[in-house]
Structure 1
Amino acid sequence: MSIEVDSVVKQYGAQKALNSVSFKIKTGEIVGFLGPNGAGKSTMMKIITTYVEPSKGSVFVNGFSTENQGLHVKKSVGYLPEHNPLYLDFYVKEYLKFHADIHGVGKERIKEVIDQVGLIDIKGKKIGQLSKGYRQRVGLAAALLHDPEVLILDEPTTGLDPNQLRDIRDLIKKIGKSKTILLSTHIMQEVEAMCDRVIIINKGNIVADEKLDDLLTGQFQTIQIEFDKKVDEEIIKKLPYLKQISNLEGNVWSLGFETEEDMRAKVFDFTVHNGFRALQLNQRVTSLEALFQNLTN
């Protein structure tokens, strides 16, 4: 396994940021690490990259312990933090040479990375002159210079326009064929487009860890229904397996159920039994966004 996290706890005084978190990621996986603000995502990423020590538990990257083999871990990991720290007065090639010297890699590797992430046309420009998309590419290039086996990307697509999003997404997918990638983002469409697997964390606890396809075709289903008259929410809440309820407008409701059973017949029978009619009843394909809301609310 490229990343092994075992029963990690991180405590800041009385506040527990991570509560016995465990997961494993193997080579060739692109894993989306999701959660609301303050859920513990960035803390976990900083622990994996040795910037923060866990209060309890253990983390191994490529077989190296973050506790006592930190230098080996750093050699194995490329890290692009949420706020990409760049020296704006540096020229692109100058900045990458600075990083290459730190890692002890030669000029040929700089050329390879510049070509890999699409920086050829702007390698002679100052970083401060670049767009947000190109700055992200520079940060990604710096993370790739020492050819790490593992990439940790914290919000790599934040602030990018649609064209930049597509370019960075395609680049990450290409890199992910030979490396392990753990990425955090709030853009669910990007997770669906890039990731093989999703880990969702909420209040320091893992609430989901599944292949993306399995997660989207699993037990959670959403039904949209329009009643013929006003219905009290407390009556609707009597439906079995109901996990999410939302009044969209007027007498139209969105109902989320957690069960493998197709709930359309049960919802129809429920309306008849309670003395009202369903004017329309549709089962919607569950989106990652709906699952995320269900698991983190």
Structure 2
Amino acid sequence: MIKVSGVTKKYPARLAVDDISFEVNRGEIVGFLGPNGAGKTTTMRMLTGYLPMNSGSIEVAGFDVARQPQEVRHRIGYLPESCPLYPEMRVDEYLRFRAELKGVKASARKAKINEVKEQCGLTEVGKRIIGQLSKGYRQRVGLADSLVHDPDLLVLDEPTVGLDPFQIRQVRELITQLAERHTILLSTHILQEVEAICERILIINEGKIVASDTEENLHRKLHACSIIEMEILAEKAAAVEQVGRLGGMDVRNASELADGWLWLEIEADSASMRVELFNLAVAEGWALRELSEQQHSLEETFVQITRNKGGDS
């Protein structure tokens, strides 16, 4: 669906995007992440044809962004971070106007507008003036606009920025539903959104793509050792010694809890070594209350990949 090859973008004072290449397959939901100034917004603007590149090529659904911009724009639905709307227009009026601009046939226009209104939860506000709607509803209008010409690809830039928690949940659910019919490239600073929605993650830093993989694989590559937490009823010194005798394990922390239990934080070569710890507890007669692997967050992984890097976008 998307093929970016050797793309570079230079501004007079800096190099914003430095020879990047990546692909997004049809039907994927891909999270596009990066610190401020990493080149994320510049990349999305080049991808959608709003900004020219200095070198390289971008294809969307087999069409070249530079040579066939109208074909590309027909296949992209773009929701920018600050969605430009006409506040004096009513929702239905605005969507009719946008559908006409995007080339939706007059015979199909009414049905398509009703369809995207239903998808985006706007059926009851079609007669309302956009400027009188809440930010959450205005965001929905922008999303309906991006869908009205039935694009193959949805490019969503910070789709939940400024929304309250309830509105954020609603928009996330809507994006998940839209993924059944559209390829989605999602840019956001809210990493929980990526964890909840995306199948794969692209990370750009200082103008370069520094990671492209599933969240699980990124965690595995960056965190070679597993951290296992264990709570037992045992004497501290003896337990630390016994665990330390097991190959591939190292007790990083040991604390006696207020209720008499002993908490151990163990660095292990793999999470499968929990079986060895369980067998040790049985052999030593320790009561066992917890034996679990610490879960790494996407935030930890993102920070590690982009550590000591940054700038301003």
Q: Do these two structures clear the TM 0.5 threshold for a shared fold by scoring above it?
A: yes
> Which residue number corresponds to residue 57 of structure 2?
58
2:188 corresponds to 1:185: yes
Displacement, 1:121? 1.2
Please report how far the alpha carbon of residue 284 of structure 1 lies from its aligned counterpart in structure 2 after TM superposition.
Answer: 2.8
CA distance in 2, matches of 1:54, 1:222: 43
* Aligned residue type for 1:285: Q
The answer to whether the Cα contact below 8 Å between 2:20 and 2:208 also exists between their aligned partners in 1 is yes
> What is aligned with 2:265?
281
> Conserved in 1, the CA contact under 8 Å of 2:222 and 2:301?
no
After the TM superposition, which residues 156-195 of structure 1 pair with which residues of structure 2 at under 5 Å, given as runs?
A: 156-195=159-198
Specify whether residues 205 and 166 from structure 1 end up closer, same or farther in structure 2 by C-alpha distance, changes over 3 A only: same
Superposed CA RMSD: 2.1
| Correspondence 1:292 to 2:302 | yes
State the SS of the aligned residue for 1:50.
coil
Residue equivalent to 2:237: none
Are the structure 2 counterparts of residues 214 and 122 from structure 1 closer, same or farther at C-alpha, using a change threshold of 3 Å? same
Aligned to 1:240: none
1:265 aligns with 2:250: yes
What CA distance in whole angstroms lies between the structure 2 residues aligned with 1:147 and 1:50? Answer: 18
Alpha-carbon distance in structure 2 between the residues aligned to 1:198 and 1:118:
28
Shift of 1:179: 1.2
SS in 2 for 1:171: helix
Counterparts of 1:3-14 in structure 2 under 5 Å?
Answer: 3-14=2-13
Q: Which runs of 5+ in 2 are unaligned?
A: 230-246, 254-262, 267-292, 308-313
Residue 209 of structure 1 corresponds to 212
SS at match of 2:203: strand
Q: 2:53, 2:80 → 1: CA distance?
A: 18
Query: For 2:228 and 2:127, how far apart are their aligned partners in 1?
Result: 55
1:171-207 deviations in Å (ceiling 9; x for gaps): 1111112211101000011110010000011110111
1:108–1:134: structure 2 CA closer, same or farther, 3 Å change rule?
A: same
Structure 2 equivalent of residue 155 of structure 1? 158
Question: 1:64 Cα deviation (Å)?
Answer: 0.5
- In structure 1, give the amino acid aligned to 2:127: G
Structure 1 consecutive aligned stretches of length 4 or more whose deviation exceeds 3 Å? 216-219, 221-225
- Is the 1:30–1:195 contact (alpha carbons within 8 Å) kept by the matching residues of 2? yes
Number of residue pairs the alignment of both structures matches: 251
What is the aligned counterpart of 2:116 among 97, 113, 116? 113
Q: Distance in 2 between matches of 1:155 and 1:82?
A: 5
- Tell me the residue number matched to 1:234: none
| Residue ranges of structure 1 left out of the alignment (5+ in a row) | 226-261, 269-278
Corresponding residue SS for 1:88: coil
Task: Trace 1:22-171 onto structure 2 (pairs within 5 A).
Answer: 22-105=21-104, 106-171=109-174
SS at match of 2:159: coil
3-state SS of the aligned residue for 2:160? coil
Normalized against structure 2, the TM-score is what?
A: 0.76
Q: Give the share of equivalent positions with the same residue, in percent.
A: 48
Displacement of 1:3 in angstroms is 0.4
How far 1:129 sits from its partner (Å)?
1.1
Q: CA deviation at 1:212?
A: 2.3
Shift of 1:91: 0.6
- 1:95-124 CA-partner distances (Å, limit 9, x unpaired): 101101112321111111111111011111
Larger radius of gyration: 2
1:255-275 C-alpha deviation (Å, 9 max, x unpaired): xxxxxxx9852857xxxxxxx
Partner of 1:198: 201
1:85 aligned partner, one-letter code: P
TM-score, scaled to structure 1: 0.80
Residues 199 and 295 (structure 1), Cα distance of their counterparts in 2 relative to 1, 3 Å cut? same
The 3-state SS of whatever aligns with 1:138 is: helix
- For the Cα contact (< 8 Å) 2:251–2:265, is it kept in 1? no
- Give, in angstroms, the shift of residue 215 of structure 1: 2.1
